[in-house]
Structure 1
């Protein structure tokens, strides 16, 4: 969910308020001294001037206390109350405060709203992801169990033919292979979201391994392929292997990696000549477990892993519009 934005307007800094308050406090005794020097003290009894001076001091003190409460204590207490409300109410409680007082508290509140929004999104993502994982694992497990039960309950009087037995065994092997692929994707996704390694790599480094892993694809590199980017070799292998596998599943025979770089970022265009991505699916391709090639072994996790891996290293990926056949992705990553 997009985080609510703090309304932009001029607010005094906390330092300004502190300095003004200190100057006001320092000015009080000076004003009192000047006042009494201007007035003759004729008796030991408290003169009306003294009463007025004390009243003025009391009023100024109360005013200073009100300013501090209004600009500092009040917004902080409101922010504390809002955190407790969010803890109880979730997404509905994520909204701006009524007043912020100082610029620093406004910035703090915006950072808190951003963090709260990300935590809520993360919680919803974990819940949705767990449901998808449960469904994806349950389907092949159910098929394996069903085939195994049929094989176990084979009737001696009416036994299965060899072809039927091989059919069920092939189904078990295929579903076991699908489970293995799902678990491999889950490991890659976990690695993408909790990166620990740092390092650099370049397209020229990963091309040989990529060609060996996907011999059916004619993979080429263009441009600044020797430019190093802030992506460890293992992470780069995972990113481009998933993109190559996605292209292969779409019927591609060519895969081109075109690299351009400046002083701060590198842009890598990944093009293929496969079936492309339909307009209806363009907004869904990065959703977990979305696949149009499930029957051919697609898990729907590849592009999600690519995005998570790049995001963990400060990069981004987006799908570009293409005039002809195939798909084209733009990867931007720091050098």
Structure 2
């Protein structure tokens, strides 16, 4: 083999490996094609083959019970050298193939294979059909074989692109989790140190210095919350953050959430009104408090001074309901459609990075529930969480 041929083969095999199909389980996406090829071309056997360095491996077989054969006894290794359909009317009458097991043991005589190309353009295998009697394909049948082979190529491209997208998403999530985790530790330390300075424990500071420390405390607190949100979202999307389900009183969840935001509500002069029915659900208490706290905090941010924010819980049959109602400016219809997606911010007043509602949605859906919003411009918004009373019976990954 010349250097040029050797390099071409190395590149071809690399393209085959990049498909990540070798030695994978059978898939219906390919099996339906071989079944159809066998039917429309009236042959007992149809196979999707991938030609490796020293073997041909079968991704899908219809009417043929095998997983691979040596490349040295492969008719398909000849077919991939062609641009068009490679057809052998009688394998037993062709000295290149007469001694191959496909003839001597499987007793197959006719072969027609259309090369399959990877997205890179390298020919990596075939869609082939075989018959027990010598024959030839009509022009119409040859076109059908080409069309079906093109379908195989599309499926190969879909598999490759899907796996590549999954890899990229995994790398992104791992990187996000690593960065947020590594940022959180020093930020927490800095935030704690600044709070000690602000407390006056080490002596009184001048007014200007005290103001600067106050600004630093506020901003490090924001960064710590952002790092926590990014880490939470990464865990949610990767299925690494898990629930600890147990019986939970929703009235207690609402009360704890109110306590968490009442300081901010007082500063903003926004009254908090609660309406709590006795409701017990199965869920993760801490995560449900996180849900209601986030909804309440958002409602307080957008509410004008003096306008109340209402939060309550109730139950109808086997479905529990928690709602948070504000009297803010409302949410645009188009924005409401994507409000629960990551990094969506609703105007400058909302602040944050747009992660809270995405995390909230993840927690709710992990409980088997739903979250929705109804809003009217100039009137306000109502966020509603519905939860199955039975909740998740076992700890399970999110999303």
- Give the number of the structure with larger relative contact order, counting CA–CA contacts within 8 Å between residues 6 or more apart: 1
Q: Which residue of 2 aligns with 1:246?
A: 298
- Check the 8 A contact 1:275/1:326 in 2, yes or no: yes
**Aligned pair partner of 1:226 in 269, 277, 280:** 280
1:256 aligns with 2:312: yes
Contact 2:275 2:312 in 1 (8 A): yes
Match of 1:319 in 2: 373
**Structure-1 separation of matches of 2:255 and 2:352:** 24
Of 214, 218, 224, 1:170 maps to 214
Deviation at 1:281, TM superposition (A): 4.2
Q: Answer yes or no: is the 8 Å Cα contact 1:206–1:233 preserved in 2.
A: yes
Q: What is the Cα deviation at residue 302 of structure 1?
A: 1.4
* Aligned partner of 2:241 among 195, 201, 223: 195
Q: Report the counterpart of residue 195 of structure 2 in structure 1.
A: none
Residue 323 of structure 2 aligns to a residue whose secondary structure is strand
Residue in structure 1 matched with residue 355 of structure 2 by the alignment: 301
Q: 1:54 to 1:16 in 2, by over 3 A?
A: closer
> Could you say what secondary structure the match of 1:214 adopts?
helix
Quickly say closer, same or farther: Cα 1:235–1:163, change in 2 above 3 A. Answer: closer
Summarize the Cα distance change of 1:11–1:301 in structure 2 as closer, same or farther, 3 Å threshold: closer
2:313 and 2:158 mapped to 1: Cα distance?
40
Q: Whole-Å Cα distance in 1 between the matches of residues 335 and 362 of structure 2?
A: 19
Matches within 5 A, 1:1-335: 11=32, 20-21=44-45, 61-63=108-110, 65-66=111-112, 78=118, 98-100=150-152, 116-120=164-168, 162-193=206-237, 194-200=240-246, 202=248, 203-204=250-251, 206-215=253-262, 216=265, 217-221=272-276, 225-228=279-282, 231-251=283-303, 252-260=308-316, 266=319, 268=321, 270-279=323-332, 281-282=335-336, 285=339, 286-288=341-343, 290=345, 292=347, 298-312=352-366, 315-322=369-376, 325-331=379-385, 335=391
Shift of 1:272: 0.9
Unaligned runs of 5+ in 2: 1-28, 47-61, 65-89, 125-148, 192-204, 266-271, 392-399
Unaligned runs of 5+ in 1: 1-7, 26-51, 85-96, 145-160
Structure with greater proportional strand content: 2
CA contact (8 A) 2:331 2:381 kept: no
How far, CA to CA, are the matches of 2:302 and 2:276 in structure 1?
A: 20
Which is richer in helix?
1
TM-score w.r.t. length of structure 1 = 0.51
Residue matched to 1:88: none
Contact 2:273 2:310 survives alignment (8 Å): yes
How many pairs does the alignment contain? 247
SS of 2:152 mapped into structure 1:
coil
Once residues 380 and 232 of structure 2 are traced to their aligned partners in structure 1, the CA distance between those partners, rounded to angstroms, is 26
